[in-house]
Amino acid sequence: MGSTAVERAGFRQQEQQIMKILFATSEVHPLVKTGGLGDVSASLPAALHRLGHDVKLVLPAYRRVLDRVGSVKIVARIGLPGIPEPGRIMATQMPGSGVPLWLVDAPSLYDRAGGPYTDPAGHDWPDNALRFASFARAVVELATDRANQDWKADVVHCNDWQTGLVSALLSRESSHPATVFTIHNMAYQGVFPPETFDALHLPKDLWSPEGLEFYGDLSFIKGGIAYADRITTVSPTYAKEIQQPEFGYGLEGLLSHRAEHLTGILNGVDYQTWDPAHDPLIPHHYTPEALEGKSANKRALQQRLGLPERPEVPLLGVIGRLVDQKGIDLIVDALPELLKREVQVIVLGTGDKKLETLLQAAADRHGEQLGVHIGYDETLAHWVEAGTDIFLMPSRFEPCGLNQIYSLRYGTLPVVRGTGGLADTVIDANQENLQQKSATGFVFQQATTDALVSALGRALQLFRDRTSWEQMMRTAMAEDLSWERSAARYIALYEAAATKNPNQASRYPAVAPL
């Protein structure tokens, strides 16, 4: 176990006991992924496993998961109200990390084409409430060892609305593990009509304004927020933002009420995958001490996107969902002014069809300055991080964000709006930070085109000062935002939750402050 990471979390290695952690999630990369939750669900349990803890993942047995996971073993059968067949628990391991994985198999709920939440046409499955209520019930059976696996969790770590009922159901158990509920994005809440509550055969005492009722409807995410022992979200700034009406989506009052139990812990990144020193997907490797490979990657990227090879021109990159939340409309509006300057821009992503069309039309008109790839390509994403000079991420809100963290490691200085995890990970290149050599990017506050253009202007001006620019690159590349660091903080949180849980307090009598 790495003592340095543990000490950073605020407690000593010898005080730590091995914990049994059940990590409940609705997606995990590479088996099934729609967004950042899938990355976190792969990386955090793997980091906890490396730190020596007894962690198990539990996931619905979607068709695409069974197609990708390889061999499985049926280890239990459980009753799930509202479906024609008994549920089955399958056991296997996560590819790569070896973390034990339980799959909740109920073919009428999960064996279907499409995604984990939507049908092949992109519409929400009409029975999503039943699908994830059944998943929550299975998690409870596993956590309490009523599935007869000779394993009982110390902590159940739930994630987003799809697991929101787990904490609510466990709260009614006479003896139950501590619960932690992580909010990855408050914009998705799992709200259903009130009649759904009775249709799911949920305990009557859970229906109240203090429980699952949300302005007359049933809210899955409220179950996690109201009943979990500890609540986390994926950055310290986002933990503050969701207590305000703009970001709380009607639950800001409850989150403020539970602020004592709400913690923001930054997501980490997997530097085994995202590091230019050994990234297998990029043409040329480089380090802070030997940056030549960065220029070679820039040339390769310009060639691949059909842009003129101009090493002296700053190359700007955009990767992600092409939606207003990510500020892509601000980038589109800024293009006429931006393309008057000596710059090149590369956009990789998919999303809103209107934004896709506008970007493609701009690329058709400005083919020597703008390259657009509609869709997603993992290899090209690595090329963009390694080959661009500046990364654009002007999000209207961003619970954590990962691409700006990848960009730091690749020496691709990010231009970001100061919200959520972007504010927590990028240090603005103001005069004081430049003098102290702590700056790692460019931060602006207002979600406007003018503010974005102004921040880009600062970046383009500094780009001409190669000494200062390369100093910033090296500072950014030295940042440690690894999962080991984040995982150590989660362990401290788990122990704190266990000390407040009367069923676990005797096992964890002393925990240092977070």
As annotated, the binding site for ADP-alpha-D-glucose includes 33
Distance CA 46, CA 13 (A): 19
| DSSP H helix total and E strand total for the chain | 21, 18
Q: What are phi and psi of 470, to 5 degrees?
A: -70, -30
Long-range CB pairs of 394-397, under 8 A, 24+ apart, other chains included: 394/326, 394/327, 394/330, 394/331, 394/444, 394/447, 394/452, 395/325, 395/326, 395/327, 395/419, 395/420, 395/422, 396/324, 396/325, 396/326, 396/327, 396/447, 397/187, 397/238, 397/241, 397/247, 397/325
- What type of residue sits at position 288? P
DSSP structural state of residue 441: B
Pairing mode, if any, of strands 100-105 and 54-60?
parallel
Cα separations in angstroms, 122 against 66, 73, 113, 116, 212: 21, 32, 11, 11, 27
Which residues are part of a known binding site? 33
Task: Give the DSSP letter of residue 359.
Answer: H
Which residues does residue 76 pair with via DSSP β-bridges, in sequence order?
89
Q: What is the DSSP string of 184-203?
A: S-TT---EE-THHHHHTT--
How large is the greatest C-alpha to C-alpha distance in the chain, in angstroms? 68
Q: Tell me if 409 sits within 8 A of 268, measured CB to CB.
A: no
240 token code pair? 């503050």
Per the CB < 8 A criterion, the answer to whether 481 and 408 are in contact is yes
Instruction: Classify the C-alpha dihedral 366-367-373-379 as positive or negative.
Output: negative
498 SS3 class: helix
Q: Is 255 in contact with 242 (CB distance < 8 Å)?
A: yes
Residue-wise DSSP of 377-439: -HHHHHHHHHH-SEEEE--S--SS-SHHHHHHHTT-EEEEESSHHHHHH--B--HHHHHHT--
